[in-house]
Copies of this chain bind each other. A is one copy, B any other.
């Protein structure tokens, strides 16, 4: 829980890669003692977001462009696999949900552009679409690993490149074709589209990384999480 907050802080880039994580300072900033902070750090270290060195504490992990590239490649393969596994599990209800997400995307892109106010909703629709396919696939490892890959700064689904209409339009069209293929039970075809869908995002992100400065990449946070609340049991 303090771990979640730390993860957000790191992924939003508020802590520089390589930066040392000062336990006293961080604990105070987060308003907790060092003990829960350290358990959170241990978990983050295992998940690979921070690195630990004995007697030297934790620091924010640095990712090379090559590692970021590698993350996309594995994600492309895993999400393609999710499509092939999802196909035999398709039901009318699942197909309907997929097309609902596509329809929501259509609505958000209706004006021939993506308005500023629609960035966050589009992002959430995008995340939901991908997650739903992983759910239908029914293999929890895929969802788990894809989530881990999203924990790499810049690889995260927090980041979408909004600038060029043609690219976002094409990306949304991929979604439609994937939904079509899956609803016809054609998992291999859906997987092929998905693989290209992810690999192209990789190429595009890396080209942007090379040209412009990293700071220019837009990070769109989720809206105040009134949704997505997990089970919280409280005494009266």
- Contacts from A to B (Cβ < 8 Å): 35, 38-40, 42-48, 67, 70-71, 73-74, 77-78, 81, 85, 138-142, 144-145, 148-149
The 3 closest A-B pairs by CB, nearest first: A43-B46, A39-B42, A70-B139
Residues of B within 8 A of A39 (CB): 38-39, 42
Number of copies: 2
Closest to A55 in B: B233
A85 to B66 CA separation, bound complex (whole angstroms): 14
Q: How far is the CB of A38 from chain B (nearest CB, A)?
A: 6
Interchain CB contact under 8 A, B43 and A74: no
Partner of A73, one of B35, B40, B71, B139: B139
Residues of B within 8 A of A35 (CB): 35
A38 to B145 CA separation, bound complex (whole angstroms): 24
Residues of B within 8 A of A141 (CB): 67, 70-71, 74, 149
